[in-house]
Chains A and B, each alone.
Chain A
Amino acid sequence: MAVKVSVTENNGQKVLTIGVTGRLDIYSYGEFSAAYKDHIADCSQTVIDMSELEYIDSSALGMLLMLRERAGGAQAAIKIVNCSPAVAKILATVKFDKLFGITPV
C-alpha cells in the first residue's frame, strides 16, 4: 500500500487529506500512522480518500478509529470519500457511518 498525505487550506482552516492506495490492514499500520501523525493535530478537518483503495480488513477499522481518536474523538471532523459501495456497506455494518461522514463513489 501507499499513503499520500497533503495539507490544504480552506477558509483559513487546515484540511488534511490522506489518500490510501491498495490495502489498508495491519501490514500497513506503521506506514499509515506515520503518514498522518505530524499533521493531525494541526488540522481541523481530515479527509480520507479511498478512490485508490482496493481492500480493507477489520484491523483497518481499528486504525480508522485510532485516527479519529487522535483527531479529537467526538469533536473530530472526518470524511471518508470515494469509497466503493462494498466498502461503504462494510463501514455501515459496523455503524461507522455514525462516526465518519461517508461518501461513496
Chain B
Amino acid sequence: MSMAPSNTLPRPAVLIVEDDEISQKIVKRLLENMGHECVAIVGDGEQAVEIAGQKRPDIVLMDINLQGEIDGIETAERIQKIYSPVLIYMTAQSDVDLSRIYKTSPFGYLLKPLVLDQAKVLLDLARHRIFDGAAPPGPHKPDVGQFYSHVLQFIDGLDVGHLCLNEKGMILGADSKASRILKAKSGDLIGKSIDATPFGLGSRDRPGEPGAGGRPPEALYDSSRVQVTRIPAPAGALPGECSVVVLLKEIGEPGASHSDGDSQLDSVKSAYDAALQKYHLAETIVQKMRHRFVEKPDYVNFFIQSKEAMGGDIFLFSQGTAGKAAYFLLGDCAGHGLHAALGLLPIIETFYVMSGQDKPLAHIIGALLENTQQSLPTRMFIAAALVKLDYARGLVEIWNAGLPDVVIRNHLGELIRIESSGLPLGVVSRSQYDIQIESRSVEHGDKIFLYTDGVIEAMDASKEMYGQERLENFLQSTGVCGSLVEGVKSEMQKFCKGIPHHDDMTFVEICVPERPSLEACHLPGVAWKMSFDLSAQALKATDYRPLFMDMMLKTHVDFVARKEEIFLVLSELYSNALNHGLLRLDPDLRNDPEQFFLAWRDRLDKLDTGWIKIDLTFRREDEGNRLDIEMEDSGPGFELSGKKDAGDESAGGRGILLLRSLCKEIRYEPPGNKAVAVFAWPRPE
C-alpha cells in the first residue's frame, strides 16, 4: 500500500467510547502521543450516539462490552444511522460474535489489554483511510455486512465453523464453532496462518495485521480430524481485507459419518456460491441500469462521485420518443447494499419506460411512488428530483422530493429556486402523497442545476460545510457560456483542501437547448397542427376559445357547418382543464351555477401558476375530416373511475354525455390531466 508521509496528513478527531477508567487513560495518552484530537470520552452507548451525532468525529474507538442499555455494537449501529465514521472496536472478549460485528463493517478491532504498538498502527492506518485517497481499500462497505449476513444464514444451524482469511492466508476472524473445532480461543487464532505455509517475507512484519509479529508458522488443525473447505471471495464481497472464507467441519466424530460432513459442507459451499453469483449479477445489472445513457446529449453535463459501488446516487436521463422533451431523474438513496440496489431496479425501469412514452410528469411520479412503496426495502428511501424539459415548448417541469433546491439560472443571471415540495420516494404511499410540480418557462441560455446534498455538505478540515450559499454565489458569478460543472468541482476541491468526500455527490447541469423547428406538418395526412401553451397569466387575461375557432374557421370551409359542435367539444375540454385542473373547483359545484360562477371568478382572479397545453391537429383523410383536440393541464388529474357517468343528470354528467355523443373518440390519460377528443365529420358533397 502506498502512503503519503504521515506528517502531511491532517490529524483525525476521535471519539473514545470506553467505560473502564484505566483503558480510557491508556487510549487518551496514545491519541495525544499521536497528535490525534480526542473529541470526548464517554462510557455510555446512548451518550456516545448523541455526541457522535453532534461532533461527527472521524474515528470512533468503541469498547464492545459497555455498561448500560446498549453494547458497543449496537451503539455503532445507531451512530451509523447518523453518519459513517471509521469504526474500531476494542474488546477483552476473546469469543467475539463475528456476525454482529461484521454487520457494522468495522475498520478493525483491537484486543484488550491493548498492545500500544498495534493500536498505533491501526489508528495510523485509519488516518490514512480518512485523509489519503491512496489508502488501502476500505473495509468500510455497508454492502458487505448485508451480503455476509446472508451467507451466515446458510451456515447457521449446521455444525460448521468458519474463518475469514486475508489474501496471505492469515486469520482475520473466527466464529465460536471454529474456535471449538480448532480448540483455541478465537482471539488467539487471529493473526495466525491456517496452514503450515509460512507467510511471505513481506507480510511477516506487515503492520496493521494484529498479531503478525513473528509467530512460528504451524498448522492449526489436524487434517485427519478437520475437513477444510476454502471459498475464495472476490474483492469487496467480504468484510475488510478478507478474501477467503474457510469452512471447518469435524470428521470422524462419534455418531457422525463421513458422508454427512461432506454433504453438509457441499450444501454450504453451493449456497455460498449461489449467493455470490447473485451478488455479482445484481451488481452488474444495477451498474448497467444506472448508467444507461443512450447517448448523453451535449447540453447535459454532470459529475458523480461515489463512495462505494452500490448504493448512493443515481442519475437517469431519457429522451422521450416524440423527440420533444427530455426527462431527468436525480436520486439520493438512503440505504445501501444489495437489497437497496435491487429495490432500485423497478424504479429505474419505470422511469425509462414511462418517459420513453412521453407520459405526463405527474403520471410518472405516481408510478414511481407506487413502485417505491412496493419494491424498496423498509427503511430505504430516495430523495429525488424529476425534471421534464419540454424544449420544443420552452417549458420545464420540476418535481423536487427531498433534494436540495433545484436551481434555475436564467439568461439574465437570476437564480430561481425550486424547493422540495414533498417527502422522498418510499416513505408514504401514492394515495397519501400530494404531488406538486413546478413549471417554468425557460429559454435557450437558461441553465438548470440539480445536485445531491453531498455537494453542499462537503466539508473542509475544520468541518465547515461548502454550503448552498457558496454554491449559489459561484453559479451566479460565472459567465453564461460554457459548462459550470468543472468549475463547481474545482471550487469544491479548493474549499475542501483535499479532504475527501464522506458522502456521494452528484451535480448536474442542464443547459436549455434551442427550440427545434416543428415538423408536425410533414406527418402524413396532417393538413395542419397548431400547438398552444397558455400560461396562468394568459388564461386569466382572456378566453382563448373564440380565437381558436376563428383560426380554424379561416383554414378550411369544412369547419363552418360544424362550428357549434366543435366549439362545444373544445369548450368542454378547455373548461375542465381550467376549472378543475388549474382552479381546482369542486366538480359538484357545477350543479349550482351561481355558486360555481362566483367561485370560478374568484379563483381565476387569484390564479398565478399552472398552464394548459392545447394541440389541435386537422387531417383530411379519404373517409372524411378529422380534428384531434388534445388538452393537457398542470393539475394533478382526477380519479378516472370517479368520472361522471353519462347517465348522470348532473352538470358533469351532461358534459360527458355531450362529448360522447359528439366525438368519435374521447379518452383521458392517467392521472387524468390530459384529455384527447377526436371529432370526425364527413366532407360535404
A→B interface (CB under 8 Å): 23, 25-27, 29-30, 33, 55-59, 61-63, 65-66, 84, 86-87, 89-90, 93-94
Contact = CB atoms under 8 A, between A and B. Distances in A.
A94 B657 contact: yes
Residue among A26, A29, A94 with the highest chain B CB neighbour number at 10 A: A26
A86 B572 contact: no
B597 to A, nearest CB: 4
A94 B562 CA distance: 18
Interface of B: 543, 545-546, 549, 562-565, 567-568, 571-572, 575, 590-591, 593-594, 596-597, 600, 651, 654-655, 657-658, 661-662
A63 B572 CA distance: 15
A86 B575 contact: no
A65 to B, nearest CB: 7
A55 to B, nearest CB: 4
B586 to A, nearest CB: 14
Nearest to B567: A55
B562 to A, nearest CB: 7
A62 B593 contact: yes
22 contacts: A26-B575, A26-B597, A29-B597, A55-B546, A55-B549, A55-B567, A55-B568, A57-B545, A57-B567, A57-B575, A58-B571, A58-B651, A58-B654, A62-B593, A62-B651, A63-B593, A86-B564, A90-B662, A93-B657, A93-B661, A94-B654, A94-B657
- Classify the secondary structure of A's interface with B: helix
A66 B564 contact: no
Q: Which A-B residue pairs are the 8 nearest by beta carbons?
A: A57-B571, A86-B564, A62-B593, A55-B567, A29-B597, A58-B655, A66-B593, A94-B654
Contact of B575 (A56, A59, A89, A93): A59
B661 to A, nearest CB: 5
B575 A65 contact: no
A32 to B, nearest CB: 10
A86 B562 CA distance: 7
Contacts of A56: 564, 568
Contacts of A30: 597
B654 A23 contact: no
Nearest to A65: B593
Contact of A90 (B546, B565, B591, B596): B565
Which of B567, B594, B596, B657 has most chain A Cβ within 10 Å?
Answer: B567
Contacts of A89: 565
Contacts of B545: 55, 57
B82 to A, nearest CB: 56
Contact of B594 (A55, A58, A66): A66
Which among B543, B571, B662 has the greatest number of chain A C-beta atoms within 10 A?
B571
Contact of A84 (B564, B575, B594, B662): B564
B658 A55 contact: no
A58 B575 contact: yes
A59 B564 contact: no
A66 B591 CA distance: 10
Given A30-B597, A65-B593, A86-B565, 8 more contacts: A33-B594, A55-B549, A56-B568, A57-B545, A57-B567, A58-B651, A62-B593, A62-B651
A55 B548 CA distance: 13
A23 B548 CA distance: 14
A23 B546 contact: yes
A30 B655 CA distance: 21
B564 to A, nearest CB: 4
B22 to A, nearest CB: 85
A26 B654 contact: no
Contacts of B651: 58-59, 61-62
